[in-house]
Amino acid sequence: MAFISSGYNPAKPMENRITDIGPKHFEEFYPEVIKKNKGKWTHHEILEPGVLVHVSETGDEVYTVRCGGARLMSTTHINEICDIADKHCDGHLRFTTRNNIEFMVDSKDKVEPLKNDLKSRKFAGGSLKFPIGGTGAGITNIVHTQGWIHCHTPATDASGTVKSTMDALFDEFQNMRLPAHLRVSMACCLNMCGAVHCSDIAILGYHRKPPMLDHEYLDKLCEIPLAVAACPTAAIKPAKVTLANGTEVKSVEVKNERCMFCGNCYTMCPSMPLADTDGDGIVLMAGGKVSNRISDPKFSKVVVAFLPNEMPRWPSMTDAIKKMVNAYSNGANKYERLGDWAERIGWEKFFEVCELNFTHHLIDDFRQQAYMSWRQTTNFKF
Amino acid sequence: MAKHETPFLDQLESGPWPSFVSDMKQQAEVRAKNEAGVEFQIPQDCVDDLLGVVELSYKHGRTHWKHGGIVGVFGYGGGVIGRYCDQPSLFPGVEHFHTMRVNQPAGKYYSTEYLRSITKLWDLRGSGMTNMHGATGDIILLGTTTPQLEEVFWELTHNLGQDLGGSGSNLRTPADCLGTSRCEYSCYDTNSLVHFLTNEFQDELHRPAFPYKFKFKLDGCPNCCVASIARSDMSFIGTWKDDIKIDQDAVNKYIEQDPAYPSNAGAHKGRDWGPFDIQKEVINLCPTGCMKMVGKELKIDNANCTRCMHCINVMPRALKIGDVRGCSILCGAKAPILDGAQMGSLLVPFMEVNPDNDYEAITDLIENIWDWWMEEGKNRERLGELIMRQGFQKLLEVTGIEAVPQHVAYPRTNPYIFWREDEVPGGFERDVVEYRKHHLR
């Protein structure tokens, strides 16, 4: 493998250097029909799950076929996406915020050939490459994080939990029979790179053991004051520690009963790892939303405090999610989001109809905001 | 023949949803065969080793990626995330496996020509694995070695006219919904504004000088498809000030159940919810009760409408957003780390989105907020946490915005009001001797 130079000269890093040019201009990438009708769209319709039409005041139409995809994608797979777009869509496509792929065509007669092409493509292992769906009152692709594929702090895997969940909910991806759309999101630790805290259902990786202390290396690898300051509950203090060989080193001490396993210390100090086979697992949250429609945006609530990591398919997790989706589907009114439904029937009923256990871990005890979540009325249900 | 046995991962190949494992195996095979004759600049078998690492994580229930590592491209503090495997002897192909964040185009539209140029580059100089896209919005190129970082950057900037995104304590790559490009609800051109802001603040994007990360996200309307209200320090949400436009004939088409007028634009087609009932499905669900039918006419009391979008979503052919358009700006949203989750708080109820003066009102506001946060923010303190610590009134003060009822869900419930000395006649300095003349000890 001979080294191929791009032209960059390490001896003169500033020579011909180009920086701060930003992204490519979006107009280069618009399909013709989009460029022509931008700002002129009058209405749209979801013709069937995964297929939309947008109609312009010029009379033009754009048909969109939406496909789910794993967020992790190889260049081989992306090249295949390009082949499809070249064949059907004049070489244009887009991705949605939730990692779906959208193929657009400018007339209705181009839709069926595109759909048939997409449906015909499967991975060697048997799964679909381009499942069509993810629109309207159903479940669309799960936004998620890196997990064990590439992250240093996860408490669970992301791609695997998502694959398992989407397999379990696949019918809802390809249908539009729920009371409203239902957004499932996944983040593999409390950092929540995926910001799942406002989703209808959120899968969250969580640690349950305080950090280990690698005393021998801690002072060499970490700024002790930063590690101390990183802790939101002030559980960490500086300490002098004598190693087995008698050497005294500067390190830290952790007050375990104050630790809520957020992993901030590990973010600041690699000598405080907290991952653990038995300690780590999944928290499920429910009832959040970001839309302002009918009711205000709201946070998701913790509804399952812990489920173990059950590799490779997390069956307890997918069971709990399916129970929630089924109970919501059976109980909610048309247009009612999961959180609005839970609030209407009351959270005590939510646990009953979803067959989820309520435990003391579900009562908030973090900071004064917790008080807002305790019941201050006699209006409750038995 | 696969390099590593992957009994756990193999179980994730079945089922209908696209399998990331199958895709990785496909990629490993493509690299092994190398029919395209690529002169791979990082280990040819890196994807095999990536499968091996993930399999080991499935066995251990723990990640095998090490913490951190300071790598990057010259002159930038962000855009590259160092990543090393903690079992390098087992998986030498991914011993060094850094991430590069590439700034995605607005609206995530692509030409195949561009995407193929990225895949070609990444096949040569990286693992050929990506995220399309990362949670913040960037194209994520997963896995390369340190000597390739400058080479990739050089090729991106010189040959592809493309820059890196952000990571670390800086402005993160701004992200938007597709806006007016294909959505009739969008109240401003999100693609143009996000492109402008990204370019305007390149320095903040690439050279970390902030207390912590800072995110702009742009939604074209209150439906909030990019979730800006929940996950950005500054959230731009399109809105309008005048009346919802009503096409009364189209309203009646919905009522008459004309098949070309399905409720909610057809989003509920998968289930029989009974005939469309405008009273039940629109008027009674209006959160402010500002709508009613008078004969065959739908009346909206626009002064009492909060623009929640429900009626427009249900009858997109009959109801349209108003014409006096702009955006609301909310500040301080974030996920739980460090001090708990926060939703964006409304700072500017309405602002014009005006490209003709380079969005001056918006950039002025941003500069004021950054000046305050950079001066007062503690290490790793997000804007939302600073607002909590110093108060919303301080945010109003630094931005010069007058308090209005729109700023609160309800006024304060405690009367512990901090009056400033200059707000009280005569100030705070008083004479206790004079006081005692009239008040015995």
Chain B interface includes A7 (CB < 8 A)? yes
Q: Which residues contact B180 (CB under 8 A, 6 or more apart)?
A: A38, A39, A41, B186, B188, B189, B190, B191, B220
B266: its two tokens? 């057809």
Q: Is the domain defined by B7-159 classed in CATH 3.40.50.2300?
A: no
Residues of chain B with CATH 3.30.413.10: 175-240+327-407
Cβ pair B40, B47 in contact under 8 A: no
Q: Spell out the per-residue pLDDT of chain A, length 382, in tens.
A: 799 999 999 999 999 999 999 999 999 999 999 999 999 999 999 999 999 999 999 999 999 999 999 999 999 999 999 999 999 999 999 999 999 999 999 999 999 999 999 999 999 999 999 999 999 999 999 999 999 999 999 999 999 999 999 999 999 999 999 999 999 999 999 988 877 999 999 999 999 999 999 999 999 999 999 999 999 999 999 999 999 999 999 999 999 999 999 999 999 999 999 999 999 999 999 999 999 999 999 999 999 999 999 999 999 999 999 999 999 999 999 999 999 999 999 999 999 999 999 999 999 998 888 999 999 999 999 9
Cα–Cα distance for residue pair B14/B27, rounded to 1 Å: 18
Question: What are the E-state strand segments in chain A?
Answer: 41-48, 51-56, 61-67, 72-74, 92-95, 101-105, 184-187, 201-206, 236-242, 248-254, 281-286, 301-308
Chain A interface includes B350 (CB < 8 A)? no
Residues of chain B with CATH 3.30.70.2500: 7-159
pLDDT in tens, B335-383: 988 888 999 999 999 999 999 999 999 999 999 999 999 999 999 999 9
Residues of chain B with CATH 3.30.70.20: 245-320
Chain A interface includes B355 (CB < 8 A)? no
Question: What is the radius of gyration, based on Cα positions, of chain B?
Answer: 28
Nearest CA in chain B to A207: B62
Which residues of chain B make contact with A261, given a CB cutoff of 8 A?
none
Cβ pair A105, A114 in contact under 8 A: yes
* Strand B245-246 versus strand B319-320 pairing type: antiparallel
pLDDT at B1 over 90: no
Chain B interface includes A301 (CB < 8 A)? no
ipTM greater than cut 0.95: yes
Distance from CA of B432 to the nearest CA of A (A): 39
The fraction of chain B above a pLDDT of 70, given in percent, is 100
Distances (CA, A) of B82 to A265, A269, B75: 19, 15, 16
- Residue contact B19–A127, C-beta within 8 A: yes
- How far out from the chain centre does Cα A310 lie? 19
Q: Is A284 helix (H, G, I), strand (E, B) or coil?
A: strand
Q: What is the DSSP string of A192-220?
A: -TT-GGGSSEEEEEE--SPPP--HHHHHH
Q: Which residues contact A354 (CB under 8 A, 6 or more apart)?
A: A303, A320, A323, A324, A327
As beta bridge partners, residue A53 has A45, A63
- Indicate the Cα dihedral angle A24, A25, A29, A31, nearest 10°: 170
Cα–Cα distance for residue pair B396/B388, rounded to 1 Å: 13
Q: Spell out the domain ranges in chain A.
A: 26-120, 158-208+277-373, 217-268
Cβ pair A111, A65 in contact under 8 A: yes
Cβ pair B109, B179 in contact under 8 A: no
Distances (CA, A) of A283 to A197, A202, A306: 12, 8, 5
The CATH code of the domain at B245-320 is: 3.30.70.20
Cα–Cα distance for residue pair B378/B211, rounded to 1 Å: 6
- Region for residue B34 given its phi and psi (left: phi exceeds 0; alpha: psi -120 to 50; beta: otherwise): left
Q: Is A7 helix (H, G, I), strand (E, B) or coil?
A: coil
Among all chains, which residue has been given the structure tokens 């159940």? B257
Chain B interface includes A58 (CB < 8 A)? no
Please work out, in degrees rounded to the nearest 5, the angle formed at the alpha carbon of residue A269 by the alpha carbons of A265 and A275: 65
The CATH code of the domain at A158-208+277-373 is: 3.30.413.10
Distances (CA, A) of B234 to A223, A288, B217, B231: 31, 20, 7, 9
Please work out, in degrees rounded to the nearest 5, the angle formed at the alpha carbon of residue A17 by the alpha carbons of A12 and A18: 170
CATH fold of A217-268 reads Alpha-Beta Plaits (3.30.70)
pLDDT at B68 over 90: no
**Can you give the pLDDT at residue B338?**
84
Chain B interface includes A82 (CB < 8 A)? yes
Cα–Cα distance for residue pair B233/B399, rounded to 1 Å: 15
Distances (CA, A) of B90 to B7, B30, B56, B82, B95: 17, 22, 10, 19, 9
User: What DSSP state is assigned to residue B199?
Assistant: H
Terminal Cα distance for chain B, rounded: 96
State the DSSP H helix or E strand holding residue B326, giving kind and residue range, or none if neither.
strand B325-331
pLDDT in tens, B373-402: 999 999 999 999 999 999 999 999 999 999
Nearest C-alpha neighbor of B151 from the set A150, A11, A3, A1:
A3
User: What DSSP state is assigned to residue B84?
Assistant: B
Cα–Cα distance for residue pair B15/B107, rounded to 1 Å: 31
The pTM of the full predicted model, rounded to 2 decimals, is 0.97
Chain A interface includes B311 (CB < 8 A)? no
Question: What is the radius of gyration, based on Cα positions, of chain A?
Answer: 25
Which residues of chain A make contact with B227, given a CB cutoff of 8 A?
97, 195, 198, 290
Three-state helix/strand/coil letters over B332-373: CCECCCCCCCECCEEEEEEECCCHHHCCHHHHHHHHHHHHHH
Cβ pair B282, B291 in contact under 8 A: yes
**Can you give the pLDDT at residue A194?**
72
Chain B interface includes A21 (CB < 8 A)? yes
Chain A interface includes B51 (CB < 8 A)? no
> Considering only residues 331 to 370 of chain A, which have any Cβ-Cβ distance to chain B shorter than 8 Å?
334-335, 366-367, 369
Cβ pair B214, A284 in contact under 8 A: no
B377: its two tokens? 């923010």
- Residue contact B61–A311, C-beta within 8 A: yes
A112: its two tokens? 């069926």
Cα–Cα distance for residue pair A2/B42, rounded to 1 Å: 10
Q: Which residues of A251-276 are buried (b: 16+ CB within 10 A; e: fewer)?
A: bbebeeeebbbbbbbbbbbbbbbbbb
Looking at 3.30.2130.10, 3.40.50.720, 1.10.940.10, 3.30.70.3340, the CATH number of the domain A26-120 comes to: 3.30.70.3340
Task: State the burial class of residue A164 (Cβ atoms within 10 Å of its Cβ: 0-12, 13-18, 19+).
Answer: buried
> Considering only residues 69 to 128 of chain B, which have any Cβ-Cβ distance to chain A shorter than 8 Å?
74-76, 83, 97, 99, 103-116, 118-119, 122-124, 128
Write down the CATH superfamily of domain B175-240+327-407: Sulfite Reductase Hemoprotein, domain 1 (3.30.413.10)
**Can you give the pLDDT at residue A299?**
96
Please work out, in degrees rounded to the nearest 5, the angle formed at the alpha carbon of residue B133 by the alpha carbons of B238 and A135: 60
**Can you give the pLDDT at residue B339?**
83
Distance from CA of A309 to the nearest CA of B (A): 7
A26-120 and A217-268 agree in CATH topology = yes
Q: Which amino acid is at B246?
A: I
Helix axes B46-60, B20-33, angle to 10 degrees: 150
Question: What are the E-state strand segments in B133-215?
Answer: 139-142, 175-176
Cα–Cα distance for residue pair A341/A172, rounded to 1 Å: 18
